[in-house]
């Protein structure tokens, strides 16, 4: 692929040609609740004059942005991309040129399945100073608010984050590019982001690669939000449970014996609300 065939690179190169002032802060908005933001993230939001934000950023978090700041939605809901990634990057570089403090606000942590790495590369290549402020990733939010520890001495000595997002395989079909053998290892927790649509195949593949069909597995929908739901079952039962209960995105799939701790560790209903939503006052 030539340089000009790569739209991300092309946008960065074009902008680099016109030296940029300004600074971009890539901020992790966490999984929803504003009080799960880091202090550094809250400070960056309060000082922002331009904010480009994603689909999963909550209203509570956006409320911290000064009223006179420019708020630009560049979100991508599953299956409906409002702006292609190359255009998001171009817009970010354009706005950065104005010299106004710009926050690129992303759900969870910018460097966990958020394309924050690509955006940071574009900024670096364009010579734009940038900083990354980490956020609580959905896996950490779900673990805490559903009572499913990611690691535990009796259950899991490792945790793997994977994506279930479909990706074209270049041969006309599509496949999930996952190392099933690595995901199916014992004594670890597998957390699958964007894994709802491919859940039946994920469970099937994990069993095909050696996991017991009775391995505990869960889906946590809208983790940390007032309307969070946790559905627990096994690799055998979970796809049907998720279908019959109408689980919707955003949701995380968690696989491993740590899921068996949910009954003991799940916060009481009232305390589950560590986030925003209809009950948030
Ligand atoms: C594009 S990824 C972004 C992940 C984000 N950067 C993070 O660190 O959590 C979006 C996926 O994250 C997961 N996700 C994000 N927020 C969630 C939440 N509150 N509850 C459950 N899953 C969530 C879902 O799997 C969703 O499809």
Question: Residue 151 is encoded by which pair of tokens?
Answer: 């690691």
- For residue 189, CA distances in Å to 70, 195, 197, 200 come to 40, 15, 20, 18
Which of 5, 6, 60, 76 is the catalytic position? 76
Q: How far apart are CA 127 and CA 257, in angstroms?
A: 46
Q: Which of 5, 13, 35, 54 is catalytic?
A: 54
Query: Which of 56, 176, 196, 226 to mutate to test ligand 1, by most ligand atoms within 8 A of the CB atom?
Result: 56
State yes or no: is 54 an active-site residue. Answer: yes
- Over residues 75-92, mean pLDDT: 79
Q: Decide if 251 contacts 222 (C-beta within 8 A).
A: yes
Task: Give me ligand 1 centre to Cα 253, in Å.
Answer: 10
Any residues with Cβ below 6 Å from ligand 1, and which?
Answer: 31-32, 56, 106-109, 112-114, 137-138, 141-142, 193-194, 220, 222-224, 249-252
Question: Where would I find the beta strands (DSSP E) of 88-246?
Answer: 102-106, 130-133, 158-163, 167-168, 174-175, 188-193, 216-221, 229-234
pLDDT of amino acid 4: 52
Q: What is the DSSP letter of 170?
A: S
Q: What is the pLDDT of residue 48?
A: 96
Give the pLDDT score at 143.
Answer: 98
How far apart (Å, rounded) are the C-alpha atoms in residues 8 and 214? Answer: 44
Q: What is the CA radius of gyration of the chain?
A: 20
User: How confident is the model over 199-243, as pLDDT tens digits?
Assistant: 999 999 999 999 999 999 999 999 999 999 999 999 999 999 999
Residue 139, phi then psi, degrees to nearest 5: -65, -40
Mean per-residue pLDDT, 250-277:
81
**Residue pLDDT, tens place only, 148-201:** 999 999 999 999 999 998 654 434 344 556 899 999 999 999 999 999 999 999
Cα 245 from Cα 48, distance rounded (Å): 40
**d(CA 193, ligand 1 centre) in Å:** 6
pLDDT at residue 8 tops 70: no
Contact between 133 and 140 under an 8 Å Cβ cutoff? The reply is: no
pLDDT at 16: 52
Within 8 A by CB and 6+ apart from 8, the residues are 85, 86, 89, 118, 121, 122
User: Is 68 annotated in the active site?
Assistant: no
Confidence of residue 108 (pLDDT cuts 50, 70, 90): very high
Lowest mean per-residue pLDDT among 3-17, 70-84, 103-117, 213-227:
3-17
Question: What span, in angstroms and rounded, lies between the C-alpha atoms of 134 and 112?
Answer: 10
């Amino acid at each position: 692929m030539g340089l000009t065939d790569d739209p991300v690179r092309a946008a960065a190169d074009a902008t680099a040609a016109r030296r940029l002032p300004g600074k971009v802060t890539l901020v992790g908005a966490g999984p929803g609740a504003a009080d799960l933001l880091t202090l550094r993230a809250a400070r960056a939001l309060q000082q922002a004059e331009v904010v480009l934000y994603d689909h999963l950023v909550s209203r509570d978090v956006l409320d911290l942005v000064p009223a006179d700041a420019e708020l630009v939605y560049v979100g991508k809901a599953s299956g409906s991309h409002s702006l292609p990634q190359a255009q998001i990057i171009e817009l970010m570089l354009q706005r950065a040129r104005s010299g106004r403090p710009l926050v690129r606000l992303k759900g969870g942590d910018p460097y966990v399945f958020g394309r924050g790495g690509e955006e940071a590369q574009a900024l670096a290549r364009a010579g734009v100073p940038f900083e990354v402020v980490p956020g609580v990733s959905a896996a950490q939010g779900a673990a805490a608010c559903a009572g499913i520890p990611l690691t535990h001495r009796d259950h899991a000595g490792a945790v793997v984050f994977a994506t279930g997002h479909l990706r074209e395989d270049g041969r006309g079909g599509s496949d999930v590019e996952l190392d099933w053998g690595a995901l199916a290892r014992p004594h670890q927790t597998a957390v699958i982001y964007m894994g709802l649509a491919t859940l039946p195949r994920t469970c099937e593949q994990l069993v095909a690669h050696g996991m017991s069909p009775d391995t505990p597995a869960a889906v946590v929908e809208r983790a940390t939000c007032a309307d969070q739901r946790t559905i627990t079952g096994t690799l055998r039962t979970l796809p049907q449970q998720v279908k019959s209960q109408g689980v919707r995105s955003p949701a995380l799939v968690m696989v491993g014996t740590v899921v068996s701790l949910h009954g003991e560790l799940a916060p009481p209903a009232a305390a589950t609300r560590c986030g925003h939503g209809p009950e948030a006052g």
